[in-house]
Amino acid sequence: MVGVIRRMNKLTALVRIRSGPGAAVLPQDVTRIHMEFGHKFDGGHMGPRCDEFPLAIASCQQKFWRDALPRLKYWNPAIPMVVNRTTNQEGPATLTLYFREPGATLSSEVPQPSSSSEGFSKAPAPAEGERVLMIDMKNRHSTAILKEFMDKSGAVAVKPTAQDEADLAAVEELEARSKIDEARVRKMNEAAKREKQMIAQAHSEAAAIKAAL
């Protein structure tokens, strides 16, 4: 049973990352991608993280940097993608695209910073033979950010195959069954807990009556 669950978890992860917003192939002239935004939603930084605002944080569904960006990485593994998260909520929320200039040959020694959760990986200056295009993400829905990204990068969306759609339907069916099973088990546990409490209370009352005799 554990093995089946693990296989289904892997299938779910694969299906989710292969299709959906962000599943796209970038043109060869895109050399790297950089994102910078704050840890919190204050100051207009909800855009890179949420699809809808000013809804409650818990109701946010699509998150650009957790959903779209991993899909972009899956379909474009050779393109570096760096995320720089900062504590400066008044700072920028930007998505920077780097392009190779026509006919340019980039050096393989161009440094690639690692992602940072402490604001240490600022967007580097373009290398010789590169140009940059910046997208302002502040106070914008992630759907709008993704649309501008697709338009300006020239990315081509990947259409799910028939197998992808079949796998997705199977995953959704399993998830629906799982929710039903979870609800059933929760009710059983709650019933068992109530029964245990009733037995304990009965024993307590019986002991009290016996002590009073």
pLDDT in tens, 71-99: 999 999 999 999 998 887 778 889 999 99
Whole-angstrom Cα distance, residue 58 to residue 142?
Answer: 16
| CATH fold for domain 20-159 | Glutaredoxin (3.40.30)
Whole-angstrom Cα distance, residue 199 to residue 64?
Answer: 51
Q: What is the pLDDT of residue 189?
A: 83
With 0-12 CB in 10 A as exposed, 13-18 as middle and 19+ as buried, what is 89? middle
The domain locations on the chain are 20-159, 160-213
Using CA atoms, how far residue 30 sits from 94, 105, 122, 146, 170, in Å, is: 17, 13, 19, 16, 35
Which stretches in the chain have pLDDT values below 50?
Answer: 1-2, 45, 47, 51-62
Q: What is the pLDDT of residue 61?
A: 29
Q: What is the pLDDT of residue 53?
A: 45
Are 98 and 30 spatial neighbours (Cβ–Cβ below 8 Å)? yes
For residue 32, which of 90, 138, 105, 111 has the smallest C-alpha distance? 111
For residue 100, which of 122, 71, 77, 133 has the smallest C-alpha distance? 133
Q: What is the pLDDT of residue 78?
A: 92
Q: What is the pLDDT of residue 43?
A: 52
Amino acid at residue number 18: R
Q: What are the two backbone dihedrals, phi and then psi, of residue 40, each rounded to the nearest 5 degrees? A: -105, 175
